[in-house]
Structure 1
Amino acid sequence: MGIKARLIIMNFLQFFVWGSWLISLGNYMGGVLGFSGLQIGSIYTTMGVASLFMPGLMGIVADRWINAERVLGICHIVGALFLIYASTIQDYSLFYFAMLFHSFAYMPTIALNNSVSYTVLEKKGYNIVKDFPPIRVWGTVGFICAMWVVDICGWTQSPYQLYVSAGAALFLGVYAFTMPAAPPLMVQAKKSWSSSLGLDAFVLFKQRKMAVFFIFAMLLGAALQITNAFGGPFLDDFKSAYPDSFAVQHPNLLLSISQISETLFILSIPFFLSRFGIKRVMMFSMLAWALRFSLFGFGNPDDRLYLLIISMVIYGMAFDFFNISGSLFVEREADPTIRSSAQGLFMIMCNGVGAFIGGLASGWIVDFFTVNGVKDWQSIWFTFAAYAIILAVIFPFAFRYKHDPMILNDSKE
């Protein structure tokens, strides 16, 4: 089997593990375990907590002592064990800590997966910029397939979704050990601890435009956590009014349209960045989040199903235009000597701090609009939409950046 095919399998499984439960676990926690909105949100914040430091720590291990593919394999095997343990728990506190330790193991694997892919492609003489994206897109395909498997098997409100994820993680953990070696490099081994953790990138906060950019990236990361945690429970609450509707019977199939849309909008990013620049592209993302949440507020699985479908399609713009475009912006603006650390800082702000804030705040809002166990979803989604609109109004005044439409990337001031 060719090395590209092997990397496709690795990337497919990497996100299959995540997609098996990320979107549907809220259904299981709320509908079966009876957790409150705040409790559901807090469990989703475990990914944010882990993203604050675990990718850096595991990066140190891979940089200094152990091959990256072996660290990747160990993390997936450990994470699988905690998922299996979580599937047996009904107590909130124990479930929280099981998912927290799973996040400690899983979140570093996103960066490790990329590191192994880059190293292998480079050793084989491939162009990383050209050859990695077609491989990475199979990760999104894996995420979608996992959602479909869980949905079609009727496991969106079952602990079996955790078993599916754990099984894939165990397989990937063993598979990672068979990948070509990605050993520690002597140059990397001489980096300081602060550099390995990405702390040297904090110098970017001295630039006003970068400080503002990172703050809004964090706030948009919170918006992403909202849709991850409560998209499934929202659709599930229609089961009494529309028990036979497609959206209630197959919530993951409907929600997977968001990931399909994501793969398509990735292809449009070069055009939008070249034509409009990062400032307007980020504003498009904020307005897309506001529209997505608003359509959730107006939609239902019956005569307004089309509004929910449109909302799923808009997700691709909402996510890619701040996550992918933001990463490209950081890549250009950061000094080459701290480029990797700057990408780590961007992940910390979005998937760490942003996810933590989004999980707690969204859980509190859901509980605030819940009376006698009944959630006022329209008020909940309109509150989230108002949040995104406020960001879109403030951002252009706070973020000062001049765009030159004649070049692909934005010009520095």
Structure 2
Amino acid sequence: MGIKNRLIVMNFLQFFVWGAWLITIGGYWFQNKGWSGTEFGAIFSTMGIASLFMPAIAGIIADRWVNAEKLLGIFHICGAIILTLLPQANTPASMFWLMLINMFFYMPTISLSITVAYSALNKSNMDVVKEYPPIRVFGTVGFIIAMWTVSLLKIETSALQFYVAALASLCLGFYAFSLPKCNICKEPRDKSIVNSLGLNAFRLFKNPKMAMFFIFSMLLGASLQLTNAYGDTFLHDFAKIDAYKELIAVKYPAIIMSISQISETLFILAIPFFLKRFGIKKVMLISMIAWVLRFGLFAFGDPSGGLWMIILSCIVYGMAFDFFNISGSLFVETSSDSSMRASAQGLFMMMTNGFGAILGSWSSGLIIDTFFKGEGDLFNWEGIWSTFAIYSLVVAIFFAILFKHKHDPKQLAEFSH
């Protein structure tokens, strides 16, 4: 099997694991357990808590001591074990602690899989900016197939979704040991604690442009958690209204939401063109405007006459997600030294899925419970999504003003070769 096909399998399984439960856990939480939005926000914050330090620590280990592909395998095997224990959680507290441990193992694998892919492509003298996005597409395909599997098996509100994720995680755990070897840094090391632990990636914050980039990455990471946490629940809630409960979008919300991931596959392929032509600032600004549209269309859509708005929102999501996540990781890769690239990717993950996830999960749960929870456990979804849209618009305006970056196509060209 060629190197690109091997990386395709890795990406497929990497995101299948996540797709099996990330979008549908809201249905399991609210429809099955009936626990509160604030408690649900705490569950989603586990991704943020784990991402505060685990991706950075994993990147340090991968740069200094253990090959990234081996660490990827170890973490996925451990994660599979925890996923099988999640259905045993009978209280919000027990669910929180088990999910936190699961996230300790899963979140660093996202940046580790990127490191493995970049390393393998560079060793094969391939154009990373050109070749990686089509490979990453299959991660999105894995996410989509996982969502469809869970939806068609009618386990969106069942604990069985965690067993599906566990099986995929176990398969990837063993498969990872067969992936191309990632070299560790064997250069003479500075004896200081900072350099011996690989914490020199944090020096990127000394660069005003990089510091600003990481701050806005955190703010965009909050937007991502909002759509992951409440999109499926939003559609499930229409089942409580007689006029909507028999509609296809309400019966199979995960399939409707999977349009977002299908859209991703198209926009990922467009990244090399947009990034080389317009640069990171314009690409990320496009992403921010797309988040405004994502939430705004949800605010006024419904599964009947407004279904087109929900579908268009899902299409726009592909641009919102890809132009931020994939372009951001490539920007970090081109802006950091080769000796700390895994650490730098871990730092990017910490800001987006760490601080960003905590900001989005905690604040959204509190805001929804305080201002947008109506009678009979019905939520004011128009108010919820409109609030998120306004937040995204404010972030976009400040980014356009504050982030200073001059596009240099030569930087990406040099990195590609």
TM-score of the superposed pair, with normalisation by structure 1: 0.90
**2:300 paired residue number:** 298
Contact 2:59–2:342 at 8 Å: present in 1 too? Answer: no
Please report how far the alpha carbon of residue 5 of structure 1 lies from its aligned counterpart in structure 2 after TM superposition. 3.2
Alignment of 1:75-90 (within 5 A): 75-90=75-90
2:75 alignment partner AA: C
1:145-294 equivalences in 2 (<5 Å): 145-179=145-179, 181-182=181-182, 184=184, 186-187=186-187, 194-195=194-195, 199-241=199-241, 242-294=244-296
Q: What do the CA deviations read for 1:143-194 (whole angstroms, capped 9, x no partner)?
A: 1110110011111101011010011112222233344555655349889764
Are 1:390 and 2:394 matched, yes or no? Answer: yes
**Does residue 97 in structure 1 map to residue 134 in structure 2?**
no
Number of equivalenced pairs: 408
Q: Select the structure that is richer in helix.
A: 2
The equivalent of 2:37 in structure 1 is 37
> What is the match of residue 371 of structure 1?
374
What amino acid does structure 1 have at the position aligned with 2:405? Y
Amino acid at match of 1:400: K
What do residues 170-227 of structure 1 show as CA deviations (whole Å, max 9, x unaligned)?
2222233344555655349889764576632333333333322221111011000100
C-alpha distance in 1 between matches for 2:45 and 2:251: 28
Check 1:350–1:191 CA distance in 2 against 1; reply closer, same or farther (3 A cut).
farther
Measure the CA separation in 2 of the matches of 1:133 and 1:12.
13
Could you tell me which residue of structure 1 aligns to residue 46 of structure 2? Answer: 46
Distance 2:162 2:60 in 1: 29
Paired position in structure 2 for 1:342: 344
Q: Which digits, 9 at most, give the CA deviation of each residue in 1:112-159, with x for residues without a partner?
A: 323444455566x45261544433321111111101100111111010
Partner Cα distance (2:69, 2:191) in 1: 20
Task: Specify the code of the residue in structure 1 equivalent to 2:373.
Answer: T
Question: How far does the alpha carbon of each residue in 1:239-259 deviate from its partner, in whole angstroms, 9 at most, with x for none?
Answer: 122111121111111111111
Q: Residues 188 and 312 of structure 1: is their aligned pair in 2 closer, same or farther, counting only changes over 3 Å?
A: farther
CA gap 1:208/1:185 in 2 versus in 1, 3 angstroms? closer
Q: How far apart in 1 are the matches of 2:197 and 2:24?
A: 32
Paired with 1:235 and 1:206, the residues of 2 have a C-alpha distance of 44
State the alpha-carbon separation in 1 of the partners of residues 270 and 262 from structure 2. Answer: 14
CA drift at 1:349 = 1.0
In structure 2, list runs of 5 or more residues that go unmatched. Answer: none
Deviations 1:49-86 (A, max 9, x none): 11121123334444454444332222112111111111
Q: Equivalents in 1 of 2:255, 2:325: separation in Å? A: 23
TM-score by length of 2: 0.89
Q: Partners of 1:350 and 1:112 in 2: how far apart?
A: 15
Question: Partners in 2 of 1:327 and 1:175 — Cα distance?
Answer: 24
Contact 1:243/1:249 (8 A) holds in 2: yes
Q: Which amino acid aligns with 2:57?
A: L
CA–CA distance in structure 2, aligned partners of residues 304 and 210 of structure 1: 41
2:39 maps to amino acid: Q
Deviates more, 1:293-302 or 1:341-350: 341-350
CA distance in 1, matches of 2:114, 2:127: 11
Counterpart-to-counterpart distance in 2, 1:191 and 1:55:
23
Which whole-Å CA distance do the structure 2 matches of 1:399 and 1:363 have between them? 29
Name the CA distance, whole Å, in 2 between partners of 1:306 and 1:103. 35
Paired amino acid for 1:202: F
CA contact under 8 A between 2:76 and 2:169: conserved in structure 1? yes
- Consecutive unaligned residues of structure 1, counting only runs of 5 or more, are none
**Secondary structure of the corresponding residue to residue 237 of structure 1:** helix
